[in-house]
Amino acid sequence: MFLLPTFCRYKRLLCSVDLTKDFFFSYSYNIMRSLQKNINDKNTGHVVYETMFVWNEFLTRAMRNHLKNTDWTVALVHGFFKQSKLSLSGKDFWLTLIARRSRHFAGTRFMKRGVNEKGRVANDVETEQIVFEDTPDDIPSQITSVVQHRGSIPLVWFQETSRLNIRPEITLKSDVDYKATRLHFENLVLRYGNPIVILNLIKTREKKPRESLLRAEFAKAIHYINKGLPDDKRLKFLHMDLSKLSRR
């Protein structure tokens, strides 16, 4: 049977994706949303189908739109999932770690950096830690959840890859009024609410300024954005030189 070159290319791309690594799903739990959001859905009776972390969103879109529901599709999430049973002070509990990687502006190191015009940062990952007691089904268990977010620094910047240079130079591009940076934090407020606390892990001192250039520009961006926000909604900017601390 004769196959068009374009079809063959798409087939190779599809077959190159190893669904046994770093992809996970659930038939009974809305795993692309945090525990807090799922509980809110249960209380309101309205289940929200968020697609940010659903990597087969495009492949299932036509079916969902035609059927007007999501019952016939399974959301495929990319990232990390691990669950372990532990014991402490005579109590058994389950520890679950879920890392959800955004399908927007995703890519390999050096190829995707910074923020795009829609405020989406490269390699955006939401990490959730869930702890709950291991008790009989008829006894309500206590449960906690902590969510944190990481992503590329929300500035317009990039690095030119080269086989001869393992540490490519960082190039910053002008973003008038830090529009893309502002959009990014507006999106975070919609996702998580206020206040937004930023933990900056960039190096403080370098023989040749590279990451520190981003640090200085990022601080300027936060200061500029905060000038237009009320006190209770201002971004909280904390710096931690992770490289320096790891050497202690």
- Do 173 and 127 fall into the same domain? no
Q: For residues 235 and 228, is the Cβ–Cβ distance under 8 A?
A: no
What is this structure's pTM? 0.82
- Do 171 and 101 fall into the same domain? no
Instruction: Give the mean pLDDT of 201-227.
Output: 85
Last residue of a domain, one of 121, 149, 177: 149
- Do 135 and 211 fall into the same domain? no
Cα angle value 167/201/241 (rounded, 5°): 95
For residue 206, count other CB atoms closer than 10 A to its CB.
Answer: 13
Q: Tell whether 1 is covered by a domain.
A: no
- Do 191 and 163 fall into the same domain? yes
Q: How many domains does the chain have?
A: 2
Q: Tell whether 210 is covered by a domain.
A: yes
Give all strands (DSSP E) within 14-76, no chain letters.
Answer: 23-24
Is the predicted pLDDT of residue 248 greater than 70, yes or no?
no
- Do 133 and 158 fall into the same domain? no
Q: Tell whether 160 is covered by a domain.
A: yes
Q: What single DSSP character describes residue 14?
A: H
Q: Which pLDDT belongs to residue 184?
A: 96
Closest CA to 239 of 194, 207, 201: 201
Last residue of a domain, one of 98, 116, 149: 149
Q: Dig out the tokens for 219 from the structure.
A: 């601080």
DSSP 3-state of 60: helix
- Do 123 and 200 fall into the same domain? no
Q: Tell whether 10 is covered by a domain.
A: no
Looking at per-residue confidence, does 18 or 151 come out higher? 151
Last residue of a domain, one of 122, 149, 176: 149
- Do 125 and 195 fall into the same domain? no
What band does 157 get if pLDDT is binned at 50, 70 and 90? confident
Sign of CA dihedral 177, 178, 184, 186: negative
Largest CA-CA distance found in the chain, in angstroms, rounded = 67
Domain extent at residue 27: 19-149
- Do 145 and 157 fall into the same domain? no
